[in-house]
A and B are shown apart, each in its own frame.
Chain A
Amino acid sequence: MKKISWHDLPLRRWLTLAPPFAWLALFLLLPFLLVLKISFADLKFGVPPYTPLAELKDEMLTLTLSLRGYALLFSDSLYISTYLSSVKMAAVTTLCCALIGYPMAYYIARSSPSVRNLLLLGVILPFWTSLLLRVYAWVGILRNDGLLNNFLMWLGVIDAPLEIYRTDLAVYIGLIYAYLPFFILPLYANLVKLDVRLLEAAYDLGARPWKAFLTITLPLSMPGVIAGAMLVFIPSVGEYVIPEMLGGADTLMMGRVMWTEFFNNADWPMAAAVTCVMVLLLLVPLVVFQYNQVKQLEVQKRRRNG
């Protein structure tokens, strides 16, 4: 039996590949290369507000690479502390999401199918509703005259309102709240497929529940943990809306600095340089995420074929 496969039709195969590839190359890859280019330009008044890199004049091609943006980035302590603080905030957020999200995903996956579906719906629902509006909900809770402070004072736990709104703590709460579903969903997808016979075997051989969890469940669920952690960590490094709405003036985050450089200072080369360094910083976690995804796909494929 002869099977016609895509490999026999190179032209058709190429035509099938081309459109999505072209869209991504045109609207994702090319724009990013432009950012890279502009990060090496210098500030100029006019439209566009940066100098060209290459100029052809009197049969002379001059290539001007301005390192002003990068020099400023590494000499001004504000930028360096912003990067450090963004990474710290994203890392703490990821850790907290793991600590809250792992037990939740674990117990959802261990529930009976009908309960499981309902619980899963509870995690998916916030995912579908507006992030902006959900973060906004915290404003009314965290303010000095907000619900949380009123509640705590009513209980008599505190005498004066706690200062949370417009501090780093509020940003942490907002980030964890917004990104928790992103941690739970991939981890749940992994945990629900766990072969419970492995656990049964461990229990039969006398392992304590904790020991069985640490030696079987946790290692097997690591791909889910990695996927979830990356889905939380990478976007929160560049988060803009949450620090802007809940954070104070001294909450330093890259997304915010980039925004200020671009919109308030109209310094496009500087904003581009901040962006490039941010992407560079995220390259390692991005590759880890990518590698993890591809590996899981291959495991799936092998399971299906074998």
Chain B
Amino acid sequence: MARPNYALRALVLALGYAFLYVPILCLMAFSFNDSAMMTSWTGFSLKWYVELFNDQALLSAARLSLLIAALTATAAVVIGTWAGYVLARMGRFRGFALFIGMVSAPLVMPEVVLGISLLLMFVEVSDLFGWPSGNGVFTIWVGHVTLCMAYVTVIVQSRIRDLDRSLEEAALDLGATPLKVFFVITLPLIFPAILAGWLLAFTLSLDDVVIASFLSGPGYTTLPLEVFSRVRLGLKPEINALATLFILVVGIFVVVANRMQWRKERRS
């Protein structure tokens, strides 16, 4: 095989990754800037971090968002794994195309569509039954689960497809019920994919502005809503600090998880 062009490769990758990372790095650097502006460096300071941890509105929004994200990720993992199993193992059934269509729609559909349609449904339902009486944690949760389960489904179904089917078949032949086979054989094997799905659902929920805008009610301001309402009009230095912390935590987590998996793959 002809050797790849090393100079060109280095140039392409350097420019590409610079594009992806320079904005984040600038933001992180300027979160330590003494001045509120991102125009010039006036000195090192941690005052925006101090301000961040004294900002009650941001802190309570963060608590609400973490709660919703945890609830969302847990439910999305259950339903998403279920749907992924159905897609990977049940073969074709009537309504298969509709099912695939519905599962993958949230992956690509603009979030405004999901947000407005769910809000209209909740309005209609509460008009008919008097429930839910107002938008809040529950309505945001439903929206986020519907969005996130699609991602979990994709991750889990590709993992199940890669499994050696003979393990499950052997257990079935030995008389285990399909339910038992799922919990004893399939579930442990796909656990890494489920964990990845949980984490992805958690971060997606923690980041969502659009669906939450439609489905949250008064008194239920999630972290992205609070952040968005502050930054849509320009720079806010305490958000630089928040972004730095957020990206660092997620970054460390992703890198560590990746290293662990990489080592495991190499061993096997």
User: Which residues of A are in contact with B by a Cβ distance under 8 Å?
Assistant: 1, 3-4, 6-7, 9, 12-13, 16-17, 19-21, 23-25, 27-32, 34-35, 38, 47-48, 100, 103-104, 107-108, 110, 117, 119, 121-126, 128-134, 136-141, 143, 145-147, 150, 177, 180-181, 196, 199-200, 203, 209, 212, 230-231, 234-235, 237-241, 244-245, 254-255, 258-259, 262-263, 268, 271-272, 275, 278-279, 282, 286, 289-290, 293-294, 300, 304
Chain B interface mostly: helix
- Among candidates B13, B120, B178, B255, residue contacting A121 with C-beta atoms closer than 8 Å: B255
Is A121 a contact of B254 with CB atoms below 8 Å? yes
Known: A1-B173, A140-B30, A146-B39. A117 touches B262 (CB 8 A): yes
Is B243 a contact of A145 with CB atoms below 8 Å? no
Known: A6-B90, A103-B12, A177-B20. A290 touches B107 (CB 8 A): no
Known: A20-B79, A136-B239. A28 touches B102 (CB 8 A): yes
Q: Which residue of B lies closest to A2 (CB)?
A: B173
Q: How far is the CB of A207 from chain B (nearest CB, A)?
A: 9
Is B24 a contact of A137 with CB atoms below 8 Å? yes
Can you spell out 20 A-B residue pairs with CB atoms less than 8 angstroms apart? A20-B99, A20-B149, A23-B149, A35-B113, A35-B116, A121-B255, A130-B207, A130-B224, A130-B250, A132-B227, A140-B38, A140-B235, A141-B38, A235-B111, A240-B210, A259-B112, A279-B113, A282-B109, A290-B104, A293-B100
Is B16 a contact of A100 with CB atoms below 8 Å? yes
A133 to chain B: which residues have CB within 8 Å?
27, 227, 239, 242-243, 246-247
B124 to chain A: which residues have CB within 8 Å?
34, 48
B146 to chain A: which residues have CB within 8 Å?
23-24, 27-28
Residue picked from B103, B143, B209, most chain A C-beta under 10 Å: B209
Residue picked from B23, B91, B100, most chain A C-beta under 10 Å: B23
Q: How far is the CB of B124 from chain A (nearest CB, A)?
A: 6
Residue picked from A21, A259, A304, most chain B C-beta under 10 Å: A21
Q: Which residue of A lies closest to B4 (CB)?
A: A110
B143-184 near A? 1/0 per residue, CB < 8 Å:
101100100010000000100000001001100001000000
A278 to chain B: which residues have CB within 8 Å?
110, 113
Q: Which residue of B lies closest to A29 (CB)?
A: B102
Is B116 a contact of A238 with CB atoms below 8 Å? no
The 8 tightest CB contacts between A and B, nearest first, are A238-B110, A140-B38, A31-B117, A20-B83, A137-B23, A137-B27, A31-B121, A133-B243
Is A241 a contact of B90 with CB atoms below 8 Å? no
Known: A125-B254, A130-B243, A140-B235. A177 touches B19 (CB 8 A): yes
Is A34 a contact of B117 with CB atoms below 8 Å? yes
Known: A133-B243, A238-B111, A255-B110. A6 touches B38 (CB 8 A): no
Chain A interface mostly: helix
- Among candidates A9, A38, A136, residue contacting B120 with C-beta atoms closer than 8 Å: A38
**B260 interface hit (Cβ, 8 Å):** no
Known: A27-B118, A28-B146, A279-B113. A146 touches B95 (CB 8 A): no
Is A107 a contact of B12 with CB atoms below 8 Å? yes
Is A290 a contact of B12 with CB atoms below 8 Å? no
Is B1 a contact of A147 with CB atoms below 8 Å? no
Known: A130-B246, A203-B2. A31 touches B79 (CB 8 A): no
Q: How far is the CB of A83 from chain B (nearest CB, A)?
A: 13
Q: How far is the CA of A53 from the CA of B99 in the complex (A)?
A: 29
Known: A34-B121, A240-B112, A272-B116. A129 touches B26 (CB 8 A): no
